[in-house]
Structure 1
Amino acid sequence: MLRGAVSAQPPLLSPLSLSLQAGEPLVVIGETGSGKSLLAQALLGTLPRELAASGSLWLDGTEYPLHTPANRQPLWGRRMAVLPQEPWLALDPLMKVVKQVGEAYRLVARSGAQASRQAAQADLAQLGIAAASEQLPGKLSGGMAQRVAFAAARAGGAPLLIADEPTKGLDAVRVSEIGDMLLKSLAETPRAGLLVITHDMALARQIGGRLMVMCKGEVIEQGETREVMAAPTHPYTRRLIAAAPEAWPEVPRSMCDAPAESSSRKAIIRAEGLTVARSKQPLLRDVNLSMSNGEIVGIQGVSGCGKSSLGDALLGLLASREGQVLRDDVAMHYQKLYQDPVAIFPPYRTLGRLLKDIISRHRLDDGELPGLMERLALAPELLARLPGQVSGGELQRFALLQLMLIKPRFIFADEPTSRLDPLVQQEVIAQMVAMVREQGMALMLVSHDTALLRKVADRVLVVEEGRLRELTCDGW
């Protein structure tokens, strides 16, 4: 049970109380900045130094005051464990998978060296990733890395597991796998408790149990997950659920609705007989495609199938093994919108300075900046902040702002909203679609979300067994 708050000026997390019953999962949902991760950090004792928590955590009848985070460090791995939203950051990049999980058994569970390695190998086999046991984390897909992090987190036998956005960036199959993994662990661990923080409505429904909805640091609705999802009472909860792509309104599809018109459009980019490979391993073969102005093409496929590599080849960031890519303009007009915007912003330059640099470097019109910021709901005061001082949704909108200033002909958007909550995702996608239609550019949109692509794409290409297969409009 937790009673407490996270303090700042003003308070970031209002006083709240919650209880976690053995065998019953608790799911916490809410948009970016609502206080979900602060709640997890307060429980674990990992809040940033400038923040302080008040109140108490009661765990199996023992009280742990929240204002002294050091009192929870002896509990890590043994009584409470965390499954992080960024598994690659939690894993040692220079240590092989089996050794990392084995080290958790050795240091946390106090097992011997041989017993630790055997237990680690058994865990990896049970999770279906035995073949990756001698790999480094950088060689793993997102789903595989998350399963390794799960194995390491559970090695100490901690009864309380806190999963903080455990499915960010994963395809629907991997999301379901993580959900099954969490529920199985809950069922098999004696007196286990499970707290899942997520913005993924499908995962929330799969986990079930009880649901807590947070908004601006406050709990605004809670109850049985199935009941809240079916009949939310708070207006914010209704907005949050309605922001899921399956609830979006249909939009006109230029290529499906007007094939005759599309045939007369000018091709902005073409690929002919393209073979794409990484580390001498072919991913895609004999790719032939063409995209015209005003067109949105969706790309689907399981993690690791070559979607990102296709985009890099189209942009000239990855040399193709065979075939050619034909572009009708200069390289600057072919741009990429990354899945993780943190990767493209220098961490120690303010966002305002970065935008000024881009405007100066490419001789752009700085008079457009205020209007574009207002359109993207970006407050002017954010320009004085560093990239790490804004939310993920705000940073992704700044990445989109850069592209709106440059006005490219073609954008390859690589899972640009998979790390965003439903409300921010809906806003970002709406702005991207509007930009395509207004500026006459072409957009290739990679997404694991079938419902999202069905709502916005003119056509969808699926990567299957090294080939691109196009879905017909009637087929989706």
Structure 2
Amino acid sequence: MKTATHPATALLVVDDLTIHAGDRVLLQGISFRLHAGEALSLVGESGAGKSLLAHAIMGNLPPALRASGAITMDGMTTRAEDAASRRALWGRKLALLPQEPSVALNPLQRVAPQLAEVYSLLHAQPSAGAAERAQQELARAGLGQATAHYPWQLSGGMAQRAVAAITLAGGAPVLMVDEPTKGLDHHWRDRTVALFRGVLQAGGCLLAITHDMGVAQALGGQVIVLQHGQAVEQGRIDEVAAQPGHPFTRNLMDADPARWLPFAAPQVGDSVVQAQGISKAYGAQQLFTPMDLQIRRGERVAVQGPSGTGKSTLGNVLLGLLRPDTGRVVRSAGLHPHAFQKLYQDPVASFAPHIKLGDGLRDAARLHRCDWRHIQQRLAQLKVHEDLLSRKPHQVSGGELQRIALARVLMTQPALLFADEPTSRLDPVTQQETMRVLVEAVEQNGAALMLVTHDQHLAAAVGTRTLTLADMAASAGLG
């Protein structure tokens, strides 16, 4: 698909952008320019500063961080540290689709009015017209039955589509998207990529942060590969993907889940949980019809299905966090009180926002009588630097927080771990290493693992069997 290019004037120019935390350099000397119709993907290791770069361009860095360099947009050059000078462009000229939908959406307001506000405030549409337009766009995003929902009533993938609709509604010609497809099935991933290509065709430019090289290749254009806060490779995505020049880039390509060898088959033991005739619906939306299910020790069950089909809800029912509408769940007797655990899809929501990560981990270690040295060893296995524990949850990357959440849940030695997209914010190399740690830990404990993932290759490599939930709404003509 061809995109329009107008090389005369760049829409976005970033020159020698560097980000400091005190004396420490988090991101070193990044430069690029984007014209109308051009895309640039940032790929690389988790915690390399990709999201920080986007926030620095927005002028929205945390107060403890300092940016230097120059940013040119809409014909105006500003110092990177002059954040206030770019805030007037937000929404109309410059937009960011953030990594965490839970942070971007107002939890106290229904979804449709949040989108309608964009049409009212940025496009001066009357309230009735804005509300009608919001309904139409949410229906296009497959959220027609969820327009009156609150954000906490949406699945991770649904929330991601809602935030994408809100971000795109402003029509900003400079669009930045941070892991925009991490919670989406293949259908909605392709639809989202098509939306971004529509921005390029309309004369905009796109900066995409992604761990999915397939998404980067589908967007086309340029790529920058980041490692340890530095650009180790830069060029056209088709050329870099076909013949990576840097060892780290080659490692990223080789660590794609499509190339993983299957994990060794486990020893299967007694039943941990049995479900008989369970079903769940929210209002008129049926998530899953009555099903029987048994999970045994040692099993690794991959849970798959389109966004919004009830994968997370099934886990909540099995763990006792929700009651089923029909049927019953029987958990094995004699298990310790914390034997059923969940790794949440949204790691930010699972941490107390105002408590340092180290303090929270130490509290959990005391509660579960876990030696702190074991926690340190686990963090080292997961390649989490211990100095991150002095920070609060919003001060680390999504991938770093995801690994800290894994270290925390493993200290409980669960009999059943329901892991909801536990590596979705990790680069392929770190994802493979983290999944190996997770599988080894549940094997050592003789635990069962239920793994929610949209990646069929990851499911095939890790799972000993697959449970697929059907799209009941689509079957009933509601999708």
Decide which of 140, 155, 165 is 2:179's aligned counterpart: 165
Q: Distance in 2 between matches of 1:394 and 1:465?
A: 32
Residue aligning to 1:283:
287
Q: Secondary structure at the match of 2:274?
A: strand
Are residue 409 (structure 1) and residue 403 (structure 2) matched?
A: no
Q: CA deviation at 1:135?
A: 4.3
Residue aligning to 1:103:
117
Q: CA deviation at 1:334?
A: 1.8
Is the Cα–Cα contact under 8 Å of residues 37 and 164 in structure 1 kept in the other structure?
yes
Are residue 23 (structure 1) and residue 37 (structure 2) matched?
A: yes
Change (3 A) 1:114 1:212: same
Is the Cα–Cα contact under 8 Å of residues 269 and 325 in structure 1 kept in the other structure?
yes
Residue aligning to 2:307:
303
Residue aligning to 2:426:
420
Is the Cα–Cα contact under 8 Å of residues 107 and 150 in structure 2 kept in the other structure?
yes
Are residue 176 (structure 1) and residue 181 (structure 2) matched?
A: no
Q: CA deviation at 1:193?
A: 1.1
Q: Secondary structure at the match of 1:237?
A: helix
Give unmatched runs, 5+ long, in structure 1.
Answer: 255-260, 468-476
* TM-score, structure 1 as length reference: 0.87
Is the Cα–Cα contact under 8 Å of residues 410 and 443 in structure 1 kept in the other structure?
yes
Residue aligning to 1:149:
163
Are residue 201 (structure 1) and residue 213 (structure 2) matched?
A: yes
Q: Distance in 2 between matches of 1:92 and 1:366?
A: 37
Decide which of 231, 235, 239 is 2:247's aligned counterpart: 235
Question: Residue by residue, what CA displacement relative to the aligned partner does 1:304-353 show, whole Å, maximum 9, x if unpaired?
Answer: 21211221121122122313323232332222122223323323444443
Residue aligning to 2:327:
322
State which drifts further: 452-461 or 314-323: 314-323
Is the Cα–Cα contact under 8 Å of residues 436 and 442 in structure 1 kept in the other structure?
yes
Q: CA deviation at 1:113?
A: 4.3
Is the Cα–Cα contact under 8 Å of residues 100 and 346 in structure 2 kept in the other structure?
no
Residue aligning to 2:462:
456
Question: Residue by residue, what CA displacement relative to the aligned partner does 1:4-32 show, whole Å, maximum 9, x if unpaired?
Answer: 32342222221222010211211111122
Decide which of 21, 35, 39 is 2:53's aligned counterpart: 39
Q: Distance in 2 between matches of 1:90 and 1:99?
A: 14
Please tell me the root mean square deviation across aligned C-alpha atoms, in Å: 2.7
Residue aligning to 1:431:
437
Which structure would you say has the larger Rg?
A: 1
Decide which of 360, 378, 384 is 1:354's aligned counterpart: 360
Residue aligning to 2:70:
56
Residue aligning to 2:101:
87
Is the Cα–Cα contact under 8 Å of residues 350 and 384 in structure 1 kept in the other structure?
yes
Q: Secondary structure at the match of 2:119?
A: helix
Decide which of 310, 313, 332 is 2:317's aligned counterpart: 313
Equivalenced residue count is 457
Q: CA deviation at 1:288?
A: 2.0
Q: Secondary structure at the match of 1:343?
A: helix
Aligned partner letter, 1:18: F
Are residue 345 (structure 1) and residue 354 (structure 2) matched?
A: no
Q: CA deviation at 1:383?
A: 4.3
Q: CA deviation at 1:454?
A: 0.5
Is the Cα–Cα contact under 8 Å of residues 275 and 327 in structure 2 kept in the other structure?
no
Aligned partner letter, 1:152: I
Give unmatched runs, 5+ long, in structure 2.
Answer: 1-12, 474-479
Question: Residue by residue, what CA displacement relative to the aligned partner does 1:82-125 show, whole Å, maximum 9, x if unpaired?
Answer: 22222343233344444333322332234444554455455445
Are residue 224 (structure 1) and residue 236 (structure 2) matched?
A: yes
State which drifts further: 211-220 or 88-97: 88-97
Aligned partner letter, 2:403: R
Q: Distance in 2 between matches of 1:465 and 1:67?
A: 47
* TM-score, structure 2 as length reference: 0.86
Question: Residue by residue, what CA displacement relative to the aligned partner does 1:408-464 show, whole Å, maximum 9, x if unpaired?
Answer: 222111111122222222122101111122222111111111100101111111112
Q: Distance in 1 between matches of 2:225 and 2:59?
A: 22
Residue aligning to 1:258:
none
